[in-house]
Structures are given as structure tokens and as C-alpha cells.
């Protein structure tokens, strides 16, 4: 199928051939019939992509600071690679579409195939959209009219926040599509409206629905508002314009009566003047997109609706209200369509918006039939030689883009598939690294006899499922940490591993493969006493509502990430963990679990402490390790430098760049797949580390020391030998 994508680095907007998206949990698969280009938001994105690197940096000073901090801690080259990888991502354009449902996931009951729906899907022949971001199109509403739903909901949400009442006088500044729709909705609600813009055609359309207007290029909007209200001031101002200066916000304050309301829907300068707001006690609010639920993963991705009695107007309910208004002809949008382009000519449509100020409703039209293939060829490939590893990657997210695929390319490993429910992401990654096929159906990977190993870099709640599916398909499997999020998942993995003892299961504990850790392990050979180890992790703040903090999706940061450092200590000690005692900070922080001190007791008598503290600054080193033994200390700083104290013949190891062992890790896995033999990381160690991460959470929550052998006796008894 075809989809409109933009490259943020080059600024090129193209219509690419990508796999049809897969249907994820709680989602609806829709064949698009019409989609509307947002002349405001999408134009800004396209202009950003076409700007120079310097201009991009100037427009995002906060991102520049993050880059500078990363250079200090990680080094120049890794930082530049990360920046360019981010900019090289394909950006799906569009968020205003209508179409027909093709398929729904089993847990969706609100829609069924054949339903006509409006959604925030991108410009693509087929889109997959979470159910709460779809609304049924009522009879009498055309596909083109329905494509205005999401854009109109943005204006509607701004109006809801302004809370106008019948007969009030409201100024709408900026008469683009959202502004004109807001004018019409306000008029339908019984409000008097004054529209402000620079383009005569837009002013004419506002007057046609009963609004007063002022051309800001020829008159003074403040004076016009004063005359319109006989000096009393307006009740509310809705700003739907886009401008870099602060003039519009200042003028809005001057227009208002005492205790007037200003709602910002567009993008303008916000250096607000205190005097403007103080004397009149004005209220100012920024409207968030389509309404309550926006950017809430529980609502949008997990389908958890808000109770109507407490949240009357959600995103989806705003969609339905707009569609009902169009059906009843309280809201007319058909006359706002100025241009139509076939999907294949999307680049010309964006040029029209950029070059023609009279262009407003630019509609993309779609063919009646769409290519529903979920696997497409990307690069030519020959049959693999005997004894070689042939990989399939399931997951095209950030880790695959920025770490996994670059490491595999340097290791010259054959990758046959990139699989992801997001077909565009799979297509881009496969094209960038010359992988043979991109697919949105992971079953294609598992069914291919040539593929002998599968790598699984997905969200943590999917790890156990895909490890088990890969083993049952007869594949070796590498899974990013963690191996599992709970004891039951781990039990099922062990059962699958026992049923396929000739298949390798390996977890992405890359740090044990770092040259710094390999060197420290060498230095500690022949030690005569147990180790004393201290690891300090400064991972940085992640909001409490992030997926990684969610116990059902990410498992929390101790299970999901601190397991790295627990494994590192198992590797250096050469011994399993016997006891775990952990403590987290008390009340008074947003998240307690990611500020934890974990003390590990090892079977050989070694001890280790993992201090995982997420409340440090970004410009402080992320990871530091000290190992004490036999009157010697090894001190590692951020996988760039290791200093030795008391070691004969060793004082320092410094690598040219930060090396956390990713490339060596993948090389070791691929070598074992190709040549045979046990996993580079023994399964019993993986199980021990995983259980220790569970034990840390239990210990911190219950304030007790956990003895691994006793706490998990049943599971350990079933572990494959």
C-alpha cells in the first residue's frame, strides 16, 4: 500500500510503498477514502524538515541542551549518531481521515467491518487506529465531510474551554480551517463573532456565516473589537492563528472585558505581559488538541474510556459531536475544500499549501482498491550459505533503529526480515539497512525455514510471548531485557526452553560484553577473596505515566532496566545471587520504585550494591562501577574509561567511544547460532538475574530480605538442567 512520509533530515515528502499495517490490540483497520491536509500543523512539519540543521537547532533550544549534555557523558560520535538516526526517521503525515473498516482486533466490539468511520489516521491507503480515536460516520455525511472531523474537533475543544454562552461576543483570531470552523460552531451556539485574518477570501467566508470581520493588515483588531462591543470588551478570544511574535496574545488581552477568557488553539509567542492580565483578571488557557484523552496512553492506546458522568467530552465524543453537527447541517464544511489531489500527487498538494495562501481545504483522494500485502520485498538477497545465521527482527522501534541494526551491520550479519505492526517503520528500517523484506506480520518470519534466529526488541510485556512463539517455531531467540516481567511468564519460557533444548535463549545483557567489563573480569581472575561491588546508575527522569513505568507494560524500571546491572555483577563474580535486600525512597516523589538501593548477596560470598537513582541530572555520568578485591580497585566510568588501582601491569583502559558491548553481544549470539554450542549467557544465569530483579521489588515493598532459593523454589525445581 502507499503512504505519505516525510524525512525530517532531508525534508523530502514522498509517497512510499509500505506493508499494510497489522491490527494491534484494541485497534481498527481502515481503508481510507479521503483525508484532509492540515494547512497549519502539517505545513509547519514540512517546513521544519526542509530547514537546515542550524535552523532545526534554533527552533528547538531545549533539544540542543540535551544534545550537549549527552556529548559530555557519552561522547561526540555516539551523540551525533543518535541525532542523525532520530532525524532519519520517516514521519507519517496527516491526522484527518475517513474510510471503511476492514478488520478489527478481537477485543473491539464497538466497530465491525463495513462501518464508515472518521479517525486520526495518517495519509495512507490503509491505516490502523486505536478504537477511541475513531467515530462512526452517520448517514448523510460524505467521506470528504467526515475527513474534517478531527480538525473540527480541535476547534470545538478550544470553544469548550472558552465556555461561551448564548449571546456572548467572541473574537476568533486566525481564519484558517480551524478558525473558520470555530466561527461556524460559535454561530451555531448563538454567539456573536468577530473574525480576524489577513487573507480576504477567509474574511469573506467568515462573513458568509454571519460573523463580523477585520483585516489585520488594514485595520486595528483592538479598535475594531472596542467599537463592536461599544467599549465594553469581548467576552472571549479564541486564538487559532500561527505566529512567532507575541503581538496576538497582547492584542487578545486588550480586546477582552474584565474577567474575559483567552484560549490558545494555535501557535503564537507567549511572552505574556503581566499588566495585560492583572488589571482585568483575565484567564488564559492552552487547548490540547482534540480533547480529554489526548496523549493519555491509557485512553488512546489501551482503550480505557473516561466515565461520561465525569468527563462529558472526550476526544471520541468530540468526534461524534462534530459528525452529528455535519449531519444536521448545523456545521457546513464542504465549501472549505479548495483543492483535490490524488494520493500519488501528495507532494504537489503540499507545494500548493506552501505556495498558495488561498489554499485551505486540500483533500487527498484514494483509489477504490488498496494493496493489502503485509510483506513486501525491499532488497535483493541470495540464498544463505550453510552454517550461517539468518535473522528476523520483530520490532522496528528506537532500539532497533539506533542500536540493534547498526551493530548487526558492523558485524556483517544477514537479516532477512524486519517485522513491525507499523508497516512504514518496518519498510524504512529494512530499506536503510538493505534487509530483504519488510512485514507487518511476524508469523511470516516464524514460518520461513531459512530464518534460524529471531531477535525480539519489543515492549517488555510482549517479550515472553514472542520468546515462546520463536522457540515453538524452532528458532533460536535473542530478546531484549527483561526476559520476563513476572514468575508466571518465566515459568512458561522455561517450559518452552525445556521442550526445545537445542535452541538458544539469550537476553540482551550487553554490558557484560563491553571491553571494559571483559578487562575487569580478566583482572579479577585468580582472586583469593569475594568481591565487593558498587554500581551507580543515573538513568534520568521518566514520567510516571510512561509505558516503561507501567507495571503491566514495562514492568517498572528495576525489572526493565536495573536487571542490566544485576547481570553485570553476576558476570564479574562468576557466581549466582543468593539473597536480595532492597530499599526505595519514601513518600514525596512522583515514582518511588526507580529510586532504589539493591544489595545482592552471592553464593560465593561476594556482595554488590546497585544504586539506581533516577533523580540525578543529565550531565552527570549515567553508569559507574567500582569493584574491590584483594587490595585492588577497578573503577569504570560510563563505559568510556576504566582505571585500575593496585593491579600489577594495569592502570587504565580508555576506549575511543562509549562501548556498552552491543556489537560484541550480537556477534557472540550470531556465532553460536551459526556454529552451534551453548548460549553465550547460560540460561540458569538469565533466570537467576530475572528472579533477583523480581526479588528487589518484593524486598523494597515488604521490607525484608529475599532468599532466592526459598522464594522461588517451585520455579527453580522446574528449570531445565
Q: Given pLDDT bands bounded at 50, 70 and 90, which one contains residue 386?
A: low
Report the 10 Å Cβ neighbour count for 11.
16
pLDDT, average across residues 335-343: 95
Spatial CA neighbour of 146 closest among 307, 34, 265, 306:
34
CA distance 128 to 335: 29
Q: Does domain 511-717 have CATH number 3.30.360.10?
A: yes
State the distance between the two ends of the chain, measured CA to CA, in whole angstroms. 48
pTM of the full structure:
0.87
Residue 64's pLDDT is 60
CA distance 70 to 482: 25
Backbone angles phi, psi at 548, to 5 degrees: -70, -25
pLDDT, average across residues 583-604: 95
The answer on pLDDT for 635 being more than 90 is yes
* CB-based contact 668:513 (threshold 8 Å): yes
- What tens digit of pLDDT does each residue of 649-699 get? 999 999 988 999 999 999 999 999 999 989 999 999 999 999 999 999 999
* CB-based contact 615:595 (threshold 8 Å): yes
Report which DSSP code applies to 267.
Answer: B
The answer on pLDDT for 54 being more than 80 is no
- What tens digit of pLDDT does each residue of 450-503 get? 999 999 999 999 999 999 999 999 999 999 999 999 999 999 999 999 999 999
- What tens digit of pLDDT does each residue of 108-134 get? 999 999 999 999 999 999 999 999 999
Q: Does domain 151-286 have CATH number 3.40.50.880?
A: no
Q: Is 488 exposed, middle or buried (0-12, 13-18, 19+ CB in 10 A)?
A: exposed
Residue 60's pLDDT is 62
CA 136, 137, 138 angle in degrees (round to 5)?
110
Q: Given pLDDT bands bounded at 50, 70 and 90, which one contains residue 141?
A: very high
C-alpha cell at 97: 481521515
* CB-based contact 456:479 (threshold 8 Å): yes
CA distance 116 to 299: 22
3-state SS assignment for residue 660: coil
CA distance 693 to 45: 42
One of 3.30.750.24, 3.40.50.300, 3.40.50.720, 3.40.50.360 is the CATH number of 386-509, namely 3.40.50.720
pLDDT, average across residues 1-16: 87
CA distance 142 to 40: 23
Q: Given pLDDT bands bounded at 50, 70 and 90, which one contains residue 512?
A: very high
In CATH, which superfamily holds the domain spanning 2-147+296-360?
Medium-chain alcohol dehydrogenases, catalytic domain (3.90.180.10)
- b/e per residue, 55-66, with b = 16+ CB within 10 A? ebeeeeeeeeee
381-386, Cβ contacts within 8 angstroms, sequence gap of 24 or more = 381/414, 381/416, 381/436, 383/450, 384/414, 384/450
- What tens digit of pLDDT does each residue of 643-652 get? 999 999 999 9
The answer on pLDDT for 51 being more than 70 is no
Would 151-286 and 386-509 be classified into the same CATH topology? yes
Chain mean pLDDT for the chain = 92
The answer on pLDDT for 324 being more than 80 is yes
The answer on pLDDT for 720 being more than 90 is no
* CB-based contact 295:317 (threshold 8 Å): no
CA distance 369 to 384: 36
Please give the biggest Cα pair distance in the chain: 92
Q: Given pLDDT bands bounded at 50, 70 and 90, which one contains residue 411?
A: confident
**Domain boundaries along the sequence of the chain:** 2-147+296-360, 151-286, 386-509, 511-717
The answer on pLDDT for 58 being more than 70 is no
Q: Which residues contact 267 (CB under 8 A, 6 or more apart)?
A: 40, 44, 242, 243
The answer on pLDDT for 26 being more than 60 is yes
Q: Tell me the pairing of strands 641-645 and 632-637.
A: antiparallel
Q: Given pLDDT bands bounded at 50, 70 and 90, which one contains residue 90?
A: confident
What does the chain come to in residues? 721
* CB-based contact 285:264 (threshold 8 Å): yes
Residue 59's pLDDT is 56
Amino acid at each position: 500500500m502507499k503512504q505519505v512520509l516525510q524525512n525530517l533530515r532531508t525534508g523530502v515528502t514522498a509517497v512510499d510503498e509500505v506493508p499494510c499495517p497489522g491490527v494491534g490490540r484494541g485497534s481498527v483497520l481502515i481503508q481510507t477514502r479521503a483525508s484532509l491536509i492540515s494547512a497549519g500543523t502539517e505545513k509547519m512539519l514540512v517546513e521544519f524538515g526542509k530547514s537546515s540543521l542550524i535552523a532545526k537547532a534554533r527552533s528547538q533550544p531545549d533539544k540542543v541542551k540535551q544534545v550537549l549534555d549527552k556529548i559530555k557523558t557519552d561522547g561526540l560520535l555516539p551523540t551525533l549518531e543518535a541525532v542523525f538516526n532520530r532525524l532519519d526517521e520517516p514521519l507519517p503525515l496527516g491526522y484527518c481521515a475517513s474510510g471503511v473498516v476492514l478488520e478489527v482486533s478481537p477485543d473491539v466490539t464497538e466497530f465491525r467491518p463495513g462501518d464508515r468511520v472518521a479517525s486520526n489516521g495518517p495519509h495512507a491507503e490503509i491505516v490502523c487506529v486505536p478504537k477511541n480515536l475513531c467515530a462512526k460516520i452517520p448517514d448523510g455525511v460524505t467521506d470528504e465531510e467526515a475527513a474534517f472531523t478531527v480538525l473540527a474537533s480541535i476547534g470545538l475543544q478550544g470553544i469548550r474551554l472558552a465556555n461561551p454562552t448564548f449571546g456572548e461576543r467572541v473574537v476568533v483570531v486566525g481564519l484558517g480551517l480551524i478558525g473558520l470552523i470555530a466561527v461556524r460552531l460559535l454561530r451555531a451556539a448563538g454567539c456573536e463573532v468577530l473574525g480576524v485574518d489577513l487573507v480576504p477570501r477567509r474574511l469573506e467566508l467568515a462573513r458568509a456565516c454571519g460573523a463580523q470581520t477585520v483585516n489585520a493588515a488594514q485595520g486595528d483588531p483592538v479598535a475594531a473589537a472596542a467599537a463592536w462591543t461599544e467599549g465594553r470588551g469581548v467576552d472571549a478570544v479564541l486564538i487559532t492563528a500561527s505566529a512567532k511574535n507575541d503581538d496576538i496574545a497582547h492584542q487578545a488581552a486588550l480586546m477582552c472585558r474584565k474577567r474575559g477568557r483567552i484560549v490558545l488553539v494555535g501557535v503564537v509567542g507567549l511572552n505574556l505581559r503581566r499588566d495585560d492580565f492583572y488589571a482585568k483578571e483575565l484567564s488564559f488557557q492552552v487547548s490540547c488538541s482534540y480533547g480529554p484523552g489526548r496523549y493519555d496512553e491509557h485512553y488512546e492506546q489501551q482503550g480505557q474510556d473516561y466515565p461520561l458522568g465525569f468527563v462529558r467530552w472526550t476526544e471520541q465524543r468530540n468526534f461524534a459531536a462534530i459528525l452529528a453537527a455535519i449531519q444536521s447541517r448545523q456545521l457546513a464544511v464542504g465549501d472549505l475544500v479548495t483543492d483535490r489531489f490524488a494520493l500519488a500527487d501528495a507532494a504537489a498538494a503540499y507545494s500548493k499549501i506552501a505556495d498558495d495562501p488561498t489554499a485551505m481545504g486540500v483533500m487527498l483522494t484514494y483509489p477504490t482498491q488498496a494493496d493489502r500485502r503485509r510483506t513486501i520485498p525491499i532488497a535483493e538477497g541470495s540464498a544463505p550459505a550453510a552454517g550461517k545465521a539468518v535473522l528476523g527482527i520483530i520490532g522496528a522501534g528506537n532500539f532497533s533503529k539506533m542500536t540493534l541494526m547498526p551493530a548487526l551491520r558492523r558485524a556483517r550479519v544477514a537479516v532477512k526480515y524486519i517485522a513491525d505492526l507499523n508497516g512504514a517503520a518496518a519498510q524504512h528500517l529494512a530499506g536503510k539497512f538493505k534487509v530483504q523484506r519488510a512485514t507487518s506480520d511476524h508469523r511470516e518470519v516464524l514460518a520461513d525455514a531459512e530464518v534460524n534466529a529471531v531477535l525480539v526488541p519489543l515492549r517488555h510485556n510482549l517479550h515472553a510471548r514472542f520468546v515462546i512463539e520463536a522457540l515453538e517455531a524452532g528458532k533460536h531467540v535473542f530478546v531484549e531485557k527483561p526476559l520476563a516481567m513476572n514468575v508466571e511468564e518465566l515459568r512458561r519460557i522455561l517450559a518452552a526452553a525445556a521442550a526445545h533444548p537445542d535452541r538458544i535463549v539469550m537476553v540482551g545483557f550487553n554490558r557484560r560484553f563491553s571491553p571494559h567489563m571483559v578487562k575487569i573480569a580478566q583482572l579479577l581472575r585468580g582472586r583469593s577473596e569475594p568481591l565487593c561491588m558498587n554500581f551507580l546508575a543515573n538513568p534520568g527522569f521518566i514520567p510516571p505515566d510512561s509505558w516503561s513505568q507501567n507495571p503491566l507494560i514495562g514492568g517498572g524500571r528495576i525489572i526493565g532496566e536495573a536487571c542490566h546491572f544485576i547481570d553485570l555483577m553476576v558476570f564479574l563474580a562468576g557466581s549466582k545471587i543468593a539473597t536480595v535486600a532492597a530499599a526505595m525512597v519514601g513518600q514525596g516523589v512522583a515514582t518511588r520504585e526507580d529510586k532504589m538501593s539493591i544489595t545482592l548477596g552471592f553464593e560465593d560470598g561476594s556482595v554488590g550494591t546497585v544504586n539506581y537513582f533516577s533523580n540525578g541530572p543529565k550531565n552527570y555520568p549515567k553508569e559507574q562501577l567500582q569493584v574491590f578485591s584483594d587490595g585492588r580497585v577497578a573503577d569504570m566510568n560510563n563505559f568510556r574509561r576504566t582505571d585500575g588501582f593496585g593491579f600489577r601491569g594495569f592502570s587504565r583502559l580508555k576506549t575511543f567511544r562509549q562501548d556498552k558491548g552491543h556489537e560484541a553481544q550480537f556477534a557472540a549470539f550470531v556465532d553460536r547460532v551459526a556454529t552451534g554450542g551453548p548460549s553465550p549467557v547460560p540460561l540458569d544465569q538469565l533466570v537467576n538475574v530475572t528472579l533477583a530483579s523480581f526479588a528487589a521489588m518484593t524486598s523494597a515493598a515488604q521490607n525484608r530480605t529475599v532468599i532466592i532459593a526459598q522464594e522461588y523454589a517451585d520455579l527453580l525445581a522446574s528449570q531445565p538442567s
